[in-house]
Amino acid sequence: MFSHKPVGAVETTEAAPAKINLALHVTGQRTDGYHLLDTLVTFTEAGDVIRIHDAPGDGFSISGSFADVLRQATTKENLVLKARDLLREAAGARARPVAIHLEKNLPVSSGIGGGSADAAATLRGLRRHWNIDIADAELAEIGLKLGADVPMCLARQPLIARGIGEDISTIDDMPVIPLVLANPLKGVSTPEVFKRLKSKTNPPLEHRDDNTWMPFLTKSRNDLEIPARKILPDIDDVCDLLRKAGAQLVRMSGSGATCFGIFKTIEDAKSAADQLRRQRPDWYVQATKTIGGPAR
């Protein structure tokens, strides 16, 4: 087990759950090029972890299955450090030097939050660690500067996001959903997927009747799936194998390439994940379940 914390130092730990777009409708485009969305989002128990402790000077370290991919990118581009710097500007003198450790368990550039989830966990974690009085709304404004998905990752509970992702309505009655996440470990560029989208003015999510989650999900879609499949045909293979493993509904999350399959029970999800791992040992495959209800 990796440990970077000096003996006796107080550590703040913050989970960075994966973000799943259960449905994503592209309803328009802003004049600055960003797309308007109507997206149903939830979060999973699977995710990255941020650990923070005081240090003589700022530091940053990474461990976990996907640490190497991030280490190859320049540190300056890391959203964790951008989040730290932005919050420090807002926090002033209370923002003492910190060592931040990122346990990178989620594949990078994969449509399930990744960098946005890490940035959001850094903002939440540092707000606690520095004990600063910044309201959720202000934290979301800071988050939006880092990426369109950061405000929803800050909320980390089932929600519908509109605008480019910043107009959030939380949902308190979504059940816990067993899932398998699968990714062929080939990245897809988000701007490229949006660029290839044929129709940018699609219908929004339909109205949901009470207690009818599966029919509601079945009626919805991810508008980014067709352009993403054109860029990366492996996504077809991912969806096919999830379906053959018994998923009730299969869909891509975000701009891909991670797809999820919904299963009846966590046991079903675990055995489907075992089957997929045997079939495609070089993929990222993870059985997990969503975090239901309001954020704790």
Residue list for the binding site for ATP? 107-117
Collapsing DSSP to helix, strand or coil, 241 comes out as: helix
Q: Is 118 in the active site?
A: no
Peptide bond into 16 cis (omega under 30): no
Residues at the binding site are 107-117
- 34 touching ligand C5P, by CB under 6 A: yes
**Of the listed pieces 84-92, 189-197, 221-229, 283-291, which binds ligand C5P according to CB under 6 A?**
189-197
The torsion defined by the Cα of 273, 278, 282 and 285, in degrees rounded to 10, comes to 0
- Is 49 near ligand C5P (CB under 6 A)? no
> Does the active-site annotation cover 68?
no
Among residues 148, 154, 272, 273, which is the contact residue for ligand C5P, using CB under 6 A?
A: 148
Applying CB under 6 A, the span of 67-75, 94-102, 123-131, 147-155 interacting with ligand C5P comes to: 147-155
Q: Is 38 in the site for ligand C5P (CB under 6 A)?
A: no
Strand partners, 242: none
CA–CA distances in Å: residue 140 to residues 9, 97, 168, 250, 291: 29, 23, 10, 30, 20
Interface with ligand C5P, residue 31, by CB under 6 A: no
Q: Which of 149, 268 has the CB closer to ligand C5P?
A: 149
Distance set, CA 43 to CA 105, 152, 162, 166, 243 (Å):
15, 10, 17, 16, 21
Neighbours of 142 (CB within 10 A): 20
Query: Which residues inside 82-111 make contact with ligand C5P, applying CB under 6 A?
Result: none
How many Cβ atoms sit within 10 Å of the Cβ of residue 120?
A: 31
Of the two residues 16 and 285, which places its CB atom closer to ligand C5P in the complex? Answer: 16
Between the CA atoms of 105, 68, 51 and 152, what dihedral angle is there, to the nearest 10 degrees? -60
Residue 194 in contact with ligand C5P, rule: CB under 6 A: yes
Q: Which of 118, 149, 223, 234 is catalytic?
A: 149
Nearer residue to ligand C5P within complex by CB, 130 or 194: 194
234-244 helix and 266-279 helix, angle to the nearest 10 degrees: 130
Question: Minimal distance in Å, beta carbon 146 to ligand C5P?
Answer: 8
Contact call for residues 151 and 113 (beta carbons, < 8 A)? no
**What single DSSP character describes residue 55?**
-
Span interacting with ligand C5P, options 62-70, 129-137, 141-149, 218-226, rule CB under 6 A: 141-149
Which of 17, 143, 165, 178 forms a contact with ligand C5P (CB under 6 A)? 165
Is 111 or 125 the residue whose CB approaches ligand C5P more closely?
Answer: 111
19 makes contact with ligand C5P (CB under 6 A): no
Residues at the interface with ligand C5P (CB under 6 A): 34-35, 37, 147-149, 164-165, 190-191, 194
Residues forming the active site: 19, 149
